[in-house]
Structure 1
Amino acid sequence: MDRRTSIKAIVAASLGAGIGPMPLLSAGKGQGSRASSSLDPYAEMRWARGYEGQRRADLGDGTFLNPVFAGDHPDPTILRDGEDYYVTFSSFDAYPGIVIWHSRDLVNWRPLTAALRTPIGSVWAPELIRHDGRYYVYIPARFPDRRSIYVIHADRIEGPWSEPVDLDLPRHIDPGHAVGEDGHRYLFLSGGDRVRLTPDGLATVGEVEHVYDPWRYPEDWVVETFAPEGPKIVRRGEWFYMVTAVGGTAGPPTGHMVIIARSRSIHGPWENDPQNPVVRTRSEREKWWSRGHATLFEGPGGRWWMIYHGYENGYWTLGRQALLEPIEWSDDGWARPLGGDLSRPIAKPVDLGAQPHGTPLSDDFTVDRFGTQWAFYDPAPDEAARVRLAEGALHLRAKGSTPGDSSPLCCIAGDHIYRLEADVEVEPGAEAGLLLFYNRRLYAGLGFGDEGLVMHRYGLQRARGTPPGQRDNGAAGPVRSLGLRLTNDRNILTIHTSSDGRRSWQKFDVQMEVSGYHHNVAYDFLSLRPALYAAGRGTARFRNFTYRALG
């Protein structure tokens, strides 16, 4: 049996592995719980569980079940450095951003650092590489009135990372770095374009040129738009391979797809794969929608893989999650994915035994976790000055007048059912609370302050008096401290308050359905994230933030 045949056998066996039922919240157990619906064709899926019950891919039996990164981890860019692998993702409006993760088995990952500290706008589809002993991240970013591609660099992957250098490329996104057979460095760009780099990689040489006309799908396919983007270049043997996304990133679930072209020279001509697209969601009944933005790379033991993103069926709110798929090389030298629709377990690239994965989201605010967990949404350059950690509390200076313009602190959740709790105190003039936050236009949750409770729904605010136990008649009045609990049960939000230090909880009288809080409604390519906010004047204090996945 040759190695290619053995890989196919391993994958075929793992795809046929049985999957037990997913543990569910029983009716009446826990607030906001509901039984699994027979309408969900994937209700029988079982993921492994990590920190605080968060789902993880490694099943502990030599197989994994996608996603390898649950929750919003779009546009993955991966670097192999010996036996170590590093990956980062689009961080959009979150700062600190460009969180770099490390793994040796491609399934279990731990965060190392946030490489980007200086706001340069909304960050889209970066490229992480190593060249001549130095690490680089090429970063497309856009402010409302300016867009370009920047580069940061470091001598060690952990940093320190440099300040951003502007490459003055205002018309392109999604850079893909390559070194040609001529020894020159290039950035391949959206739309089939390319520009040459200086030897140090910190400036461009000459003008942007068009070098590739991407493969086009049939006219009657259901897609969002053509949008050729995310070119990633890999060299294998005598060929350069260009992997590109077309079909639009969101929109219809069947739109986004992966195509491949190859050339014997970095300068072309580029030959399209006769089996394009090599990855595509063909039906809205599949587990993973809008699969695309892929990178080919060699993994442990010489086996090849593809990492890309996709939306989970029924969970646009979780954003684009990172997916890992094995490939084989055909006799005529094309990459052939082996993972099917990725709805079943797959053999791990290598089994190194028990490995930590992810990071706990609960925070007692005794150590600085900005960048690896917390990030400001759409911050000003001096946003960090709003934060102080002291006496076991996060002291957050108020900003703006609503959650939408307050630059809330957010973290990424990847579970179908989870619960947040925190103790919150506000000074006069301030309003603070807990949210499920998508963007400045769309969020849900509860806050309080001078006017009592403030309900947030659809991105709109409504005063709701004071909670039970603080004023018998429920009339409006100031609230200065409160325990808050948000439970997100498959996109149903239930809110509770506690006036006695979380010893007892009172259910808020409005529950919210939030499945529409996503990109196809409000743009921005983000996810619905747990968030802390403080608006108005003065300071809010948050203590004992806890996160728990419930199923």
Structure 2
Amino acid sequence: MRNHRASLLAIILLGSLPIACGDGEPSAPLEVPLIIEAKGDGTTDPPPGTYLHRPGTVVTVTARPAPSADFAGWSGAASETDDAVTVTMDGNKTLTATFETASWPSEGQATYLNPILPGDHPDMNIYIEGDDFYITGSSFNMSPNVEILRSRDLIHWERVSRVVDPAWSGLAASTSAGGGTWGGFIVKAAGGYRVYFAVNFNQYFAEAESLAGPWGEPVHVEPLDPYTPPGEDPELVQFNRGTGYDDSVFIDDDGTTYLVVKAGQCRWNGETDGAENNFGVNLLQKIDPETGQLSGESIDLSFVNWNVENGGCGDPAGDPDNAVEENWAEGPTMTKRNGFYYYFDSTHTGCGGVQFGWRSATLSGEPADWTPLGAVLTGEAPWSGAQHSTAPFQIADGTWWVFSHSYECDSSWRGLGRQGLLSQVTWIDDESGAGVPVVNGRLGVPARAPALPPSDIPFLLPVNDAFEEEKLAPAWTFYGNMPPDRYSVTDRAGWLRLKPAEGETRWAIQKDALHAKAMVVRMDFAPEAEGDAAGVRLGNAVFPEAELTAFPTWARPASLEVSVARVRADGVDQIRFAFRSVVPVLNADESAYESTEATVVSYDVEAPPEKTLWLKLVHDRDHQATGWFSTDRLTWTQVGEPVDISALEDYDTVNTGWVGSQAGVFATSASADFDLFTYRDGFTEIAAAAPDQESSTEVVPSPSEGQVLGGLESGAWAMYGSVDLGSGGVKSTDVELRASSVKGGAVEVWLDPLAGGRRVATCDVPATGSWETWTTVTCEVDAAGSHEVYLRAKGGSGELLRLASMRFVPGKK
């Protein structure tokens, strides 16, 4: 057998050496080698290797970077930076293509979009230590209570801990949906920290060495002497006003710490018989730094409740003609600047509420010492309830900022609760340095971001969870006290097990935060007895039906939920998609509620034989929900028809227990195991016009596609957080972008760039001829897990393209 390998080697060697003719003179080689090399994450066309060419041949070589890399340029036989280069073979040559891992962004986020804290984040207070910012607020009856969040750039927040164990005995007398813990603020203490919060209109605090916990048993803050309304005889009229709710803390320049108290509502009605009276009291009470208790010194600022022009209810004499019953000076905060004290309060916590301010050169209880500043924060659509703000605070570059909360009052999304908004504050000063704070910019449009270092913390949204830890992630909560024997993440490794008693339902839930999403669970459950059920759910606070009838008639409460579940009903194992609404019914004279009425829209199909199934609950920006099931997460079967759930997504939580919508899983009467919860499924279409954060984009109307994302010039981007790109044996193999373009462009798809993530695709969008001619562009990707997905425009000048939607394509791992 001939040795072809040896013959080929001889040809290569001969081709690289001059060959002598009969007269002894050397002649040109028959072929010369071109050695192609690639450095970094990429290849070439033709691939790297050694190629023989006749002298004078012109060879074209093209650089092919990997999706996560950029072509940096050629060296050796060429020095151009174009992807394709030509080489004339006039001798032995080496050509090297160099690739660099794509890196973006190089700076912090330049603009931001509210809400910074989407979902229910009411009654916030801020604590600053070094480069870290911390926020606490009201939990109500969502436990574990008193969530602490941390940030370094004021835009990206992470959960640090929860302070109050739901089994704490102090919560036993406050079990309604609107009960639990109200407000919250952090104080530095010797050896650690104290977190204050209210239960039943009284303050408590818990202590820990670190804000990450563990936290000790809460301690009751003992009230001071009973309060006497102005002008009354203290021997005749005294009331124990407790220590308030939605309080905050103020620390003066000398370190003196004050509890900024709000107790009660509205006005003193003049009763002198000793009966309890819910008149409003606003106080500054000194805190003993050693004990955490009140020291006994108090400054009375209750006059703010009686100033109608500046948010109060009316005068202390109880004149009904001067009463404004829906206003009271609540949510008080205080800051100090240029030697002046600034006191802030809100008229009420719902839509239309207004933040008012007062200024004084001295910390006193004399009304004459305080100058009313009028409304210092009034919201604009859709955040027309912006108030209940933190105290304005200053950051390293000298700018001032404030957080407030608001419903989306001028839309159909009040069910998400009072969401967290960030605003910059400027001060209009006179010659003495006395100022008036002015909140900058409109809340509903992009604004300049704080000049702080970039953060690698993901944008705060509900988490996608595979339950791989020995404790539930801090994003998870329960309605009220969830006894430890009713759930487990250790009974079966990698699974969350809900273990309700017979006739009981148990939920594991997170704050709902998006206008549209697809929630997916993988569940191991077979209902055996009639009424057994388990699945995925979106709903408002859970109320016993009898409790709904106890609401005042103006409240119009309702218990609302939509779910996809496996159930046993009428003796059949079924998949059920249902929307349930329970509302109270008025009596004949409409003076009170006398009963409740349930309305259920549901669809049932027989369940497949497999015990382990995937369930999916989808709802879009038009409040249309659909239910689905699957045996492999690749092929889905729809259950019934779409259902309108706008009643759930537009309910006003002020009237129904304060708590915003919650998303998660449940089980009824029998144990169920979940090894995956996905809040935002990347395999279901995501509307491009609803990014969680963006830069230099705009939402524009499209007659054919509805609202779309436009204004995409080169470098503009949109971010979609908490997207599940594959779990449970499934991964993303492609991404589909629904796009239009007049002149063509490209979209880079990045995963977690703020945390050093990678670019997974660059999708070329061809010129479609008009903004209303749409095409679906498909690009190959290889990704799994939960990520922040950034879509970044790339190309020439002007608007390059518009995007209607994004969807990742699933495949088996």
Q: TM-score, normalised by structure 2?
A: 0.53
Relative to structure 1, the CA distance from residue 546 to residue 183 in structure 2 (aligned partners, 3 Å threshold; closer, same or farther) is: closer
Residue in 2 aligned with 1:343? Answer: 444
- Opposite residue 382 of structure 2, the aligned amino acid is K
Residue in 2 aligned with 1:355? Answer: 456
Tell me, what secondary structure is at the counterpart of 2:386? Answer: strand
Relative to structure 1, the CA distance from residue 275 to residue 522 in structure 2 (aligned partners, 3 Å threshold; closer, same or farther) is: closer
Residue in 2 aligned with 1:202? Answer: 292
2:647 to 516, 526, 529: 516
Post-superposition shift, 1:98? Answer: 2.0
Relative to structure 1, the CA distance from residue 273 to residue 372 in structure 2 (aligned partners, 3 Å threshold; closer, same or farther) is: farther
Post-superposition shift, 1:375? Answer: 0.6
- Opposite residue 267 of structure 1, the aligned amino acid is S
Residue in 2 aligned with 1:414? Answer: 513
Distance 1:435 1:539 in 2: 16
Residue in 2 aligned with 1:437? Answer: 539
Residue in 1 aligned with 2:330? Answer: 229
> Does residue 1:309 correspond to 2:405, yes or no?
yes
Residue in 1 aligned with 2:787? Answer: none
Distance 2:437 2:654 in 1: 34
2:672 to 534, 540, 546: 540
2:258 to 174, 178, 186: 186
Post-superposition shift, 1:132? Answer: 5.0
Answer whether contact 1:484 1:495 (CA < 8 A) is retained.
no
Residue in 2 aligned with 1:177? Answer: 249
Tell me, what secondary structure is at the counterpart of 2:374? Answer: coil
Residue in 2 aligned with 1:331? Answer: 429
Residue in 2 aligned with 1:277? Answer: 375
Residue in 2 aligned with 1:130? Answer: 188
Residue in 2 aligned with 1:46? Answer: none
Residue in 2 aligned with 1:17? Answer: none
Relative to structure 1, the CA distance from residue 349 to residue 181 in structure 2 (aligned partners, 3 Å threshold; closer, same or farther) is: closer
- Opposite residue 230 of structure 1, the aligned amino acid is G
> Does residue 1:242 correspond to 2:343, yes or no?
yes
- Opposite residue 199 of structure 1, the aligned amino acid is P
| Amino-acid identity (%) | 24
> Does residue 1:257 correspond to 2:346, yes or no?
no
Distance 2:603 2:255 in 1: 68
Residue in 2 aligned with 1:365? Answer: 467
Answer whether contact 1:181 1:266 (CA < 8 A) is retained.
no
- Opposite residue 457 of structure 1, the aligned amino acid is R
Tell me, what secondary structure is at the counterpart of 2:465? Answer: coil
> Does residue 1:457 correspond to 2:580, yes or no?
yes
Tell me, what secondary structure is at the counterpart of 2:418? Answer: strand
Distance 1:413 1:141 in 2: 24
Distance 1:113 1:521 in 2: 26
Gaps of 5+ in 2: 1-106, 175-179, 224-241, 263-280, 314-323, 543-558, 583-597, 688-813
Answer whether contact 1:449 1:480 (CA < 8 A) is retained.
no
Residue in 2 aligned with 1:426? Answer: 525
Residue in 2 aligned with 1:139? Answer: 197
Post-superposition shift, 1:316? Answer: 0.6
Distance 1:211 1:274 in 2: 12
Answer whether contact 2:136 2:183 (CA < 8 A) is retained.
no
Tell me, what secondary structure is at the counterpart of 1:136? Answer: strand
2:632 to 494, 497, 501: 501
Post-superposition shift, 1:275? Answer: 3.9
Residue in 2 aligned with 1:71? Answer: 119
- Opposite residue 633 of structure 2, the aligned amino acid is R
Relative to structure 1, the CA distance from residue 92 to residue 319 in structure 2 (aligned partners, 3 Å threshold; closer, same or farther) is: same
Distance 1:133 1:337 in 2: 38
Answer whether contact 1:152 1:164 (CA < 8 A) is retained.
yes
Post-superposition shift, 1:326? Answer: 1.0
Cα deviation, 1:362-398, whole Å, max 9, x if unaligned, reads 1111115636211111225x34652234232111101
Relative to structure 1, the CA distance from residue 166 to residue 302 in structure 2 (aligned partners, 3 Å threshold; closer, same or farther) is: same
Distance 1:303 1:219 in 2: 28
Tell me, what secondary structure is at the counterpart of 1:213? Answer: helix
Answer whether contact 1:431 1:447 (CA < 8 A) is retained.
yes
Distance 2:127 2:311 in 1: 36
Cα deviation, 1:73-93, whole Å, max 9, x if unaligned, reads 111111111221111222121
Post-superposition shift, 1:183? Answer: 5.9
Aligned pairs (5 A) from 1:3-22: none
Farther-moved stretch of structure 1 (450-459 vs 298-307): 450-459
Aligned pairs (5 A) from 1:206-225: 206=296, 210-214=300-304, 215-217=307-309, 225=326
Distance 2:599 2:363 in 1: 55
Tell me, what secondary structure is at the counterpart of 1:504? Answer: coil
Residue in 2 aligned with 1:395? Answer: 497
Gaps of 5+ in 1: 1-58, 472-478
Distance 1:400 1:114 in 2: 30
Post-superposition shift, 1:224? Answer: 8.1
- Opposite residue 178 of structure 1, the aligned amino acid is F
- Paired residues in the alignment total 470
Distance 1:140 1:419 in 2: 36
Relative to structure 1, the CA distance from residue 352 to residue 197 in structure 2 (aligned partners, 3 Å threshold; closer, same or farther) is: closer
Between 1 and 2, higher relative CO (CA 8 Å, sep ≥ 6) is seen in 1
Post-superposition shift, 1:292? Answer: 0.7
- Opposite residue 539 of structure 1, the aligned amino acid is S
Residue in 2 aligned with 1:114? Answer: 162
Post-superposition shift, 1:128? Answer: 2.1
Tell me, what secondary structure is at the counterpart of 1:516? Answer: helix
Residue in 2 aligned with 1:99? Answer: 147
Aligned-pair Cα RMSD in Å: 3.2
Relative to structure 1, the CA distance from residue 401 to residue 367 in structure 2 (aligned partners, 3 Å threshold; closer, same or farther) is: same
- Opposite residue 519 of structure 1, the aligned amino acid is D
Q: Which has the larger radius of gyration?
A: 2
Cα deviation, 1:99-123, whole Å, max 9, x if unaligned, reads 2222222122222222222443412
Post-superposition shift, 1:124? Answer: 1.4
Tell me, what secondary structure is at the counterpart of 1:317? Answer: helix
Post-superposition shift, 1:531? Answer: 1.9
Residue in 1 aligned with 2:659? Answer: 526
Relative to structure 1, the CA distance from residue 219 to residue 370 in structure 2 (aligned partners, 3 Å threshold; closer, same or farther) is: closer
Tell me, what secondary structure is at the counterpart of 2:397? Answer: helix
Tell me, what secondary structure is at the counterpart of 1:226? Answer: coil
Relative to structure 1, the CA distance from residue 359 to residue 463 in structure 2 (aligned partners, 3 Å threshold; closer, same or farther) is: closer
Relative to structure 1, the CA distance from residue 207 to residue 300 in structure 2 (aligned partners, 3 Å threshold; closer, same or farther) is: closer
- Opposite residue 666 of structure 2, the aligned amino acid is Y
Post-superposition shift, 1:481? Answer: 4.9
Residue in 1 aligned with 2:715? Answer: none
Answer whether contact 1:240 1:263 (CA < 8 A) is retained.
yes
Answer whether contact 1:140 1:150 (CA < 8 A) is retained.
yes
Residue in 2 aligned with 1:287? Answer: 382
Q: TM-score, normalised by structure 1?
A: 0.77
Tell me, what secondary structure is at the counterpart of 1:379? Answer: coil
Answer whether contact 1:79 1:130 (CA < 8 A) is retained.
no
